[in-house]
Structure 1
Amino acid sequence: MKVKHITVLCLLAFEAVAAFAAEPQSTSDANRLKALQAQVNALQANLDSLRKTIAANAAPAAAANAGAANIGPVNTATAVAPASSTAPAFTNDDVQQMREQIANASLKVDTLQEAATSGPLAGLSITGYIDPVYLYNRAQHTAGFQFLNHDPGIYDYYNSTLGDLYLDIKKTFGVGPMAPSAEIVIQPNRGFGSVLSNERGGVGNNILTQAQVSVPLSTTKTFETGLMTSLAGYEIQPSNQMLTLTHGLLYDFSEPGNMVGIGLKGSDATYTHFWQVLLGNEQLRTAGAIVNAANNTTKSNWTPTLTARFDSATTTGLDVGISGTIGRQTLFSPCAAAGEYGYQCNASSPFGLYTYVESDVTYTHDKTQFNAQLDYGQLQKGAWNGGTARWFGTSLLGHTKWTTAGIGRMGATLRLDYLNDTANGGGGSNILYGLSGGDPSVNGTSGFGLDPSCFQNSANKGMECKGAQHYALTADLLFYPTDQIIVKFEYRHDGANHPVFQKSDGSYSRSNDIAALQFVYTF
Structure 2
Amino acid sequence: MPHHPTKTSRTVVTLAATLLMCGLAASPCQAQAATASSDALEKEVQGLQERLRLMEEQLAELRHHRSQLSSELMSELQELNRITIKAEALEDARDAAGHKMLKASGYMDPSFVINRSQDRGGFQFLNRADTAAGGDGYNYDNSYFGTAVIDFQKETDSAVKWRLTLAPNRGVGSVFDASSPVHEASISVPLTDLQTRLIAGQIPDWSGYEYLQPTLNKLITHNLLFDFTLPAAYSGAGIDITRGKWSIKSVLANVNASKKNPHNHAPALAYRVDYSRGEFQGVGFAGVLGKASNGRANEVDPLNNGALLFPQDAGLDTQLHLFEVDGYFIRGDITLQGQFSIGGQQKAAITPGPNGELRDASWYGASVLGAYRLTPRLESTLRIDYLNNERNGGGLLGYYAADSRNGVGPGYGGDPNVGVNRSAVTLGTSFMLDLSTTLKAEYRVDYASQPVFYYIQDGIYRPKNDIFGVSLLVAF
Alpha-carbon deviation of 1:151? 3.0
**Matched position secondary structure for 2:383:** strand
Q: Is 1:148 matched with 2:100?
A: no
Alignment-derived partner of residue 124 in structure 1: 102
> Which one-letter code corresponds to 1:499 in the other structure?
P
RMSD, aligned α-carbons: 2.9
Alpha-carbon deviation of 1:344? 5.8
Alignment-derived partner of residue 371 in structure 2: 399
Specify whether residues 336 and 231 from structure 1 end up closer, same or farther in structure 2 by C-alpha distance, changes over 3 A only: farther
Query: Residues 433-448 of structure 1 correspond to what in structure 2 (within 5 A)?
Result: 433=401, 442-448=402-408
**Matched position secondary structure for 1:103:** helix
Decide which of 240, 249, 261 is 1:289's aligned counterpart.
261
CA contact (8 A) 1:249 1:419 kept: yes
Alignment-derived partner of residue 334 in structure 1: 299
Q: Is 1:427 matched with 2:395?
A: yes
Alignment-derived partner of residue 248 in structure 2: 275
Return the alpha-carbon distance in structure 1 between the equivalents of residues 430 and 62 of structure 2. 71
CA contact (8 A) 1:424 1:466 kept: yes
Return the alpha-carbon distance in structure 2 between the equivalents of residues 349 and 184 of structure 1. 31
> Which one-letter code corresponds to 1:162 in the other structure?
F
CA contact (8 A) 1:162 1:190 kept: yes
> Which one-letter code corresponds to 1:128 in the other structure?
G
Per-residue CA distance 1:258-284 (angstroms, 9 max, x = gap): 01111211111xx20110001111x22
CA contact (8 A) 1:168 1:186 kept: yes
The TM-score normalised by the length of structure 1 is 0.71
Alignment-derived partner of residue 454 in structure 1: 414
Return the alpha-carbon distance in structure 1 between the equivalents of residues 283 and 234 of structure 2. 23
CA contact (8 A) 1:132 1:163 kept: yes
CA contact (8 A) 2:443 2:469 kept: yes
Decide which of 171, 182, 197 is 1:191's aligned counterpart.
171
CA contact (8 A) 2:172 2:204 kept: no
CA contact (8 A) 1:334 1:345 kept: no
Per-residue CA distance 1:29-49 (angstroms, 9 max, x = gap): xxxxxxxxxxxxxxxxxxxxx
**Matched position secondary structure for 2:225:** helix
Q: Is 1:500 matched with 2:474?
A: no
Return the alpha-carbon distance in structure 2 between the equivalents of residues 380 and 86 of structure 1. 92
Query: Residues 89-108 of structure 1 correspond to what in structure 2 (within 5 A)?
Result: 98=75, 100=78, 102-108=80-86
Alignment-derived partner of residue 215 in structure 1: 189
94-103 vs 184-193, greater mean Cα deviation: 94-103
CA contact (8 A) 2:261 2:315 kept: no
Return the alpha-carbon distance in structure 2 between the equivalents of residues 446 and 375 of structure 1. 19
CA contact (8 A) 1:150 1:159 kept: no
Alignment-derived partner of residue 157 in structure 1: 140
Per-residue CA distance 1:130-157 (angstroms, 9 max, x = gap): 1111111111111001111133151110
Per-residue CA distance 1:485-512 (angstroms, 9 max, x = gap): 1111100000101111111133311110
Specify whether residues 506 and 315 from structure 1 end up closer, same or farther in structure 2 by C-alpha distance, changes over 3 A only: same
Decide which of 441, 445, 448 is 1:489's aligned counterpart.
441
Return the alpha-carbon distance in structure 2 between the equivalents of residues 468 and 85 of structure 1. 95
In structure 1, the gaps of 5 or more residues are 1-80, 198-202, 291-299, 434-441, 456-461
> Which one-letter code corresponds to 1:261 in the other structure?
G
Question: Alignment length, in residue pairs?
Answer: 401
> Which one-letter code corresponds to 1:369 in the other structure?
T
Percent identical residues: 27
Decide which of 464, 468, 474 is 2:426's aligned counterpart.
474
Query: Residues 221-232 of structure 1 correspond to what in structure 2 (within 5 A)?
Result: 221-232=196-207
Specify whether residues 301 and 100 from structure 1 end up closer, same or farther in structure 2 by C-alpha distance, changes over 3 A only: same
Specify whether residues 214 and 341 from structure 1 end up closer, same or farther in structure 2 by C-alpha distance, changes over 3 A only: farther
Specify whether residues 191 and 82 from structure 1 end up closer, same or farther in structure 2 by C-alpha distance, changes over 3 A only: closer
CA contact (8 A) 2:149 2:166 kept: yes
Decide which of 215, 219, 234 is 1:259's aligned counterpart.
234
Return the alpha-carbon distance in structure 2 between the equivalents of residues 211 and 331 of structure 1. 25
Alpha-carbon deviation of 1:83? 11
Alignment-derived partner of residue 206 in structure 1: 180
Alpha-carbon deviation of 1:451? 1.9
Alpha-carbon deviation of 1:92? 13
> Which one-letter code corresponds to 2:226 in the other structure?
Y
Specify whether residues 480 and 346 from structure 1 end up closer, same or farther in structure 2 by C-alpha distance, changes over 3 A only: same
Alpha-carbon deviation of 1:94? 6.1
Return the alpha-carbon distance in structure 1 between the equivalents of residues 61 and 381 of structure 2. 78
> Which one-letter code corresponds to 1:230 in the other structure?
D
Return the alpha-carbon distance in structure 2 between the equivalents of residues 260 and 210 of structure 1. 10
Specify whether residues 165 and 104 from structure 1 end up closer, same or farther in structure 2 by C-alpha distance, changes over 3 A only: closer
Query: Residues 65-80 of structure 1 correspond to what in structure 2 (within 5 A)?
Result: none
**Matched position secondary structure for 1:313:** strand
> Which one-letter code corresponds to 2:387 in the other structure?
L
Return the alpha-carbon distance in structure 2 between the equivalents of residues 83 and 402 of structure 1. 66
CA contact (8 A) 1:377 1:390 kept: yes
CA contact (8 A) 1:273 1:314 kept: no
Alpha-carbon deviation of 1:113? 5.1
Return the alpha-carbon distance in structure 2 between the equivalents of residues 147 and 322 of structure 1. 33
Alpha-carbon deviation of 1:96? 10
Specify whether residues 88 and 466 from structure 1 end up closer, same or farther in structure 2 by C-alpha distance, changes over 3 A only: same
Alignment-derived partner of residue 381 in structure 1: 347
In structure 2, the gaps of 5 or more residues are 1-56, 132-136, 353-357
CA contact (8 A) 2:301 2:309 kept: no
Return the alpha-carbon distance in structure 2 between the equivalents of residues 222 and 315 of structure 1. 24
Return the alpha-carbon distance in structure 1 between the equivalents of residues 283 and 307 of structure 2. 39
**Matched position secondary structure for 2:374:** strand
Decide which of 319, 322, 337 is 1:371's aligned counterpart.
337
Specify whether residues 382 and 110 from structure 1 end up closer, same or farther in structure 2 by C-alpha distance, changes over 3 A only: same
> Which one-letter code corresponds to 2:163 in the other structure?
E
Specify whether residues 498 and 96 from structure 1 end up closer, same or farther in structure 2 by C-alpha distance, changes over 3 A only: closer
Decide which of 216, 221, 231 is 1:246's aligned counterpart.
221
Specify whether residues 279 and 85 from structure 1 end up closer, same or farther in structure 2 by C-alpha distance, changes over 3 A only: closer
CA contact (8 A) 1:413 1:476 kept: yes
Alignment-derived partner of residue 27 in structure 1: none
Specify whether residues 107 and 495 from structure 1 end up closer, same or farther in structure 2 by C-alpha distance, changes over 3 A only: same
Alignment-derived partner of residue 281 in structure 2: 318
Larger C-alpha radius of gyration, 1 or 2? 2
Alpha-carbon deviation of 1:225? 1.0
Specify whether residues 85 and 245 from structure 1 end up closer, same or farther in structure 2 by C-alpha distance, changes over 3 A only: closer
CA contact (8 A) 1:136 1:515 kept: yes
**Matched position secondary structure for 2:226:** helix
Specify whether residues 358 and 336 from structure 1 end up closer, same or farther in structure 2 by C-alpha distance, changes over 3 A only: farther
